[in-house]
């Protein structure tokens, strides 16, 4: 394609953008022609004088990429491979090391490692700044370019050099790429009566998977006393999945709304009537690796006072990206709106503030003297209610079990303690209310004096 044709195409696109955005009345033809002329001069100078010969199509691609990348860290110009990579991330299977990355203060930064991925197993953490991939500096590269460097055929190796905030010197991770199959929803039982749910990312089927899992679990475990939803290091993903996940815990009401310049970007998402968890106490864990869709869920449930948010402040990605197909092999991922929690909070560049802040720390036990109990004494009286006796051995075993969880994940242990406290208070309130009703009934049925 020669320069005249390219110039004509660019001019047509520019005019179309002016008209389609509704700002043609505010931009004079003189300014439009001036800017087009400036672009032509730069293009012509690069074409003529740059040290290497570059074809017209490549220069046009560079121009478009530069325009989009300057808008914000999440907008991007996608070629066929980029678009395929994006689809693979959404569907949940690709070959790589398992990192969600973003641009923060000019650095390629880890938003979150994917659960059970090579990156997660090696110890890469949210907030790590990537400075080199295979000894190639990444400063100045786009997120798309670095993502391609990190991904590759299965069983191939890649070396990643990172800076961490609390360390002065960079250090390296040598990883072997694997097929990353993201299992977005996991569950387990804590202390017999509490359901722990972990969502590692939001894929197209995450919401429906969670809904089915909760329904089956509570049907089989009616004694369940509370739920922990772990959204730590969850970089987000599919917006619709976030809506469905939130709906599992709400009995109607607004979940999130979006606002942008276009009419079709102003949307309100509502929860349907019916809480799948029947109002069970709910604690949500977040941290600075919780982004986008994770923040939608946490923000909505916090605004509705449906959940207690625990952990550290979230990432703060409150923008909506729309994929617009340009032609058969190109598309743009463009930020078209900001999303807001039901109370009108914008999460963009601020994040969700926990109701209770609990930082991730390493915990060690202070060793003490093992004290005996009454149940250890010879010829002690038996428990009158035939309950299990509390020997020092039983207490040690319970402490070891609790300490193991505390050492592995102090935030989860504290969340469980909070959930137990909420459940106890709710039970006491119900018991007290029932007792008051019985007393009132007795008084009303008594004989007047």
C-alpha 18/C-alpha 62 separation (Å) is: 21
Structure tokens given for 171:
């250090």
Angle at 332 between CA 231 and CA 5, to 5 degrees: 170
**pLDDT, position 318:** 96
Describe the crossing of helices 56-69 and 3-20 by its angle, rounded to 10 degrees.
Answer: 30
Q: What is the pLDDT of residues 322-360, one digit of tens each?
A: 889 888 888 999 999 999 999 999 999 999 999 999 998
- Using alpha carbons, list the distances in angstroms from residue 358 to 199, 312, 320: 19, 6, 29
pLDDT per residue over 68-116, tens digit each?
989 998 899 988 888 877 776 666 668 899 998 988 888 999 988 888 8
- Establish whether 49 is a catalytic residue: no
Query: How confident is the model over 35-59, as a mean pLDDT?
Result: 93
Q: Which residue has the higher pLDDT, 145 or 144?
A: 145
Catalytic status, residue 201:
no
Catalytic residue among 82, 184, 230, 317: 317
pTM confidence score:
0.76
CA dihedral sign of residues 335, 341, 346, 349: negative
User: What's the pLDDT score for residue 143?
Assistant: 84
Catalytic-labelled residue, pool 303, 314, 319, 333: 303
Question: Please, which pLDDT band fits residue 429 given cuts at 50, 70 and 90?
Answer: confident
The token pair at 291 is: 């982004």
Task: List Cβ neighbours of 348 (8 Å cut-off, separation of 6 or more).
Answer: 316, 317, 318, 319, 338
Catalytic residue among 184, 292, 312, 319: 292
Q: Judge residue 295's burial from the number of C-beta atoms within 10 Å of its C-beta, 0-12 exposed, 13-18 middle, 19 or more buried.
A: buried
- Greater confidence, 369 or 137? 137
Residue 132 confidence (pLDDT) above 60:
yes
pLDDT surpasses 70 at 382:
yes
pLDDT for 199 equals: 96
Residues 182-209 have pLDDT tens digits of 788 999 999 999 999 999 889 989 999 9
- Number of neighbours of residue 387 by Cβ within 10 angstroms: 8
pLDDT surpasses 70 at 274: yes
Asked whether the beta carbons of 355 and 295 are under 8 A apart, the reply is: no
* Nearest C-alpha neighbor of 198 from the set 234, 224, 225, 223: 234
What percent of the chain is predicted at pLDDT more than 70?
Answer: 84
Phi, psi of 305 (to 5 degrees): 55, 35
Is 134 known to be catalytic? no
The mean per-residue pLDDT over the stretch 242-255 comes to 98
Tokens of 391: 């020997």
For position 5, what pLDDT does the model report? 47
């Amino acid at each position: 394609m020669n320069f005249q044709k390219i110039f004509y195409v660019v001019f047509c696109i520019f005019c179309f953008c002016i008209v389609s955005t509704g700002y043609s009345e505010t931009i004079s033809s003189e300014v439009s022609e001036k800017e087009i002329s400036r672009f032509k001069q730069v293009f012509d100078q690069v074409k003529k004088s740059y040290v290497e010969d570059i074809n017209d199509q490549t220069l046009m691609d560079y121009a478009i990429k530069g325009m989009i990348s300057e808008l914000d860290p999440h907008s991007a110009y996608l070629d066929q491979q980029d678009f395929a990579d994006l689809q693979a991330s959404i569907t949940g299977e690709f070959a790589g090391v398992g990192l969600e990355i973003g641009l923060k203060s000019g650095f390629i930064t880890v938003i979150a490692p994917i659960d059970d991925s090579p990156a997660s197993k090696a110890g890469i953490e949210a907030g790590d700044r990537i400075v080199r991939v295979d000894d190639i500096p990444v400063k100045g590269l786009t997120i798309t370019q670095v993502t391609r460097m990190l991904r590759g055929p299965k069983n191939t190796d890649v070396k990643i050099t990172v800076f961490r905030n609390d360390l002065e010197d960079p250090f390296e991770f040598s990883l072997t790429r694997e097929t990353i199959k993201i299992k977005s929803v996991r569950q387990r039982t804590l202390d017999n009566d509490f359901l722990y749910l972990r969502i590692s990312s939001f894929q197209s089927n995450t919401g429906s998977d969670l809904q089915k899992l909760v329904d089956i679990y509570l049907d089989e475990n009616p004694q369940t006393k509370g739920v922990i939803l772990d959204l730590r290091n969850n970089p987000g993903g599919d917006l619709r999945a976030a809506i469905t996940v939130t709906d599992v815990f709400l009995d109607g009401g607004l979940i999130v709304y979006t606002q942008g310049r276009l009419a079709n970007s102003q949307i309100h998402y509502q929860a349907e009537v019916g809480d799948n968890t029947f109002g069970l106490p709910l604690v949500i864990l977040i941290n600075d690796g919780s982004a986008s869709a994770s923040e939608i869920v946490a923000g909505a449930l916090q605004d509705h006072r449906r959940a207690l948010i625990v952990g550290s402040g979230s990432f703060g990605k409150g923008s909506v990206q729309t994929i617009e197909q340009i032609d058969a092999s190109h598309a743009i991922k463009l930020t078209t709106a900001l999303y807001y929690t039901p109370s009108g909070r914008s999460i963009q560049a601020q994040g969700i503030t926990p109701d209770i802040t609990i930082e991730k720390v390493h915990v060690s036990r202070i060793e003490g003297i093992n004290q005996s109990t009454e149940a250890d004494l010879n010829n002690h009286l038996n428990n009158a209610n035939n309950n299990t006796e509390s020997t020092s051995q039983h207490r040690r075993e319970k402490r070891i079990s609790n300490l193991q969880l505390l050492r592995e994940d102090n935030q989860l242990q504290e969340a469980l303690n909070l959930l137990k406290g909420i459940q106890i208070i709710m039970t006491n309130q119900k018991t007290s209310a029932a007792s008051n009703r019985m007393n009132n009934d007795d008084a009303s049925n008594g004989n007047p004096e």
